[in-house]
A and B are shown apart, each in its own frame.
Chain A
């Protein structure tokens, strides 16, 4: 790996304004989602656990992991825009062995994904603290415990961003890649969750593994109570992390192997 090429990828990322708007979007939605869950919990029907309980804090943080689609899309765009604007051509002319360029891109986007995770985590922490202040209740979890939960959100966002780069390398066409990724993360996971028999794979899908990692069971419980289906047990947090790491590795393999082998026309 060439550090110079990682710097180039970071420079490309900051050379347009998209990073700012996507980070802002993530920050606002993360803070908003946590505030809504925190402030509305006492009034919701069916009742949500309040943020003065451990479960309530966990749910509020866990819901943020669902926003990992934002950095995932950043990863998709980071890869597909190279093909859309044909900037992949000068990059491969400068480094005709190609693999150093794509490896650097995956590394850079892992760092960038972690950055988005930190932004989201900071907003979640602030929003939790603010909600507790407004409701005048103590948070149901201590600072170290909350920090641990937030770290898992950062991990999930890092992996999702790498998956995004892999999907981008696989599909190349920007809008198609966005549709594929969005559909997989927000539709397929949830649909499979409520299909009897098939939902046994849910724990191994990115969404299920993320839910296991962040110990966020609300979605599965909700689906179970509405459909009356038996929900598959989520993996342990450690196994969820391992499954996510597997997806990250697969994404890296796709993101490196395909661009290196394919003709650039």
Chain B
């Protein structure tokens, strides 16, 4: 499928909740055709950043744009960017199919897409059951199905592998790869490194709301010592050997 690539760009993004600075002067980009991992420990500002990118949270400063525009100004948001955020944004008494139908109608997307995305995510058999009976893995698949409704060029996924079993994780890996190979921009947040290492092409590392590293796996881990060790060094308060420092770390 031919797609015109759409780039995500975050520039000087800052978000304060009261006195808490959740994100501080964060900048990075995620381009088409690659899977970009957005990594950081819990509470490091990943979700806040993604919510700013999706127009759900108003930044205190800076900007986060998709194809050069803030999400809220996209002409056809769900056809440009699909998102999966927390583990569950469905009404427990509604079926997966009803959830997707409602979302289609809200966005003005043809109802025929419902069966397409159910098929794509392997949820067809469970589609008519109320989501309260869904396992965490099925919820993640329904989230992914929701994100894909508009056949978007950009996918923003917050911890999509949470709750998946090993077979599910392997499936997700292949699935994301296929989406990226189709020319889509895929931004995936995670704190589970072993799995990220096998999935992503580039990584952006955040710690305490600030960007501490950005680059391809090869650039961040030239010695091949493993992403986990690099990550722990980048995200610990004890100073690492100066040689191992990566660009962008200015905070402490």
Nearest CB of B to A261, in Å: 8
A8 pairs with B93, CB closer than 8 A:
no
Question: Which residues on the B side are within 8 Å of A95 (C-beta)?
Answer: 77, 106-107
A94 pairs with B106, CB closer than 8 A:
yes
- Closest chain A residue to B58, Cβ basis: A263
A81 pairs with B91, CB closer than 8 A:
yes
> Which of A11, A86, A92, A93 has a CB less than 8 Å from the CB of B105?
A11
A97 pairs with B72, CB closer than 8 A:
yes
Question: Which residues on the B side are within 8 Å of A86 (C-beta)?
Answer: 86, 88-89
B90 pairs with A85, CB closer than 8 A:
yes
A92 pairs with B103, CB closer than 8 A:
no
A96 pairs with B105, CB closer than 8 A:
no
A90 beta carbon closer than 8 Å to chain B: yes
B133 beta carbon closer than 8 Å to chain A: no
A87 pairs with B93, CB closer than 8 A:
no
Residues of B in contact (CB 8 Å), total 32
Complex CA gap A13/B101 in Å reads: 14
A92 pairs with B55, CB closer than 8 A:
yes
Complex CA gap A103/B91 in Å reads: 21
A4 pairs with B108, CB closer than 8 A:
yes
A265 pairs with B57, CB closer than 8 A:
yes
B56 pairs with A93, CB closer than 8 A:
yes
Given A85-B90, A85-B92, CB of A94 within 8 Å of CB of B51: no
Nearest CB of B to A91, in Å: 6
Complex CA gap A97/B54 in Å reads: 12
Question: Which residues on the A side are within 8 Å of B54 (C-beta)?
Answer: 93, 96
Given A7-B105, A8-B102, A265-B57, CB of A87 within 8 Å of CB of B51: no
Question: Which residues on the A side are within 8 Å of B83 (C-beta)?
Answer: 93
A101 beta carbon closer than 8 Å to chain B: yes
A90 pairs with B103, CB closer than 8 A:
yes
In the complex, 11 of the A-B residue pairs with CB atoms within 8 angstroms, ordered by the A residue number, are: A4-B105, A11-B105, A18-B93, A85-B88, A85-B90, A89-B86, A89-B89, A94-B103, A97-B72, A264-B51, A265-B48
In the A-B complex, list the 6 residue pairs whose CB atoms are closest, starting with the nearest: A94-B107, A16-B93, A96-B72, A94-B106, A264-B56, A86-B89
Give the A-binding residues of B (Cβ under 8 A): 17, 48, 51, 54-58, 71-72, 74, 77-78, 83, 85-86, 88-94, 98, 101-103, 105-108, 146
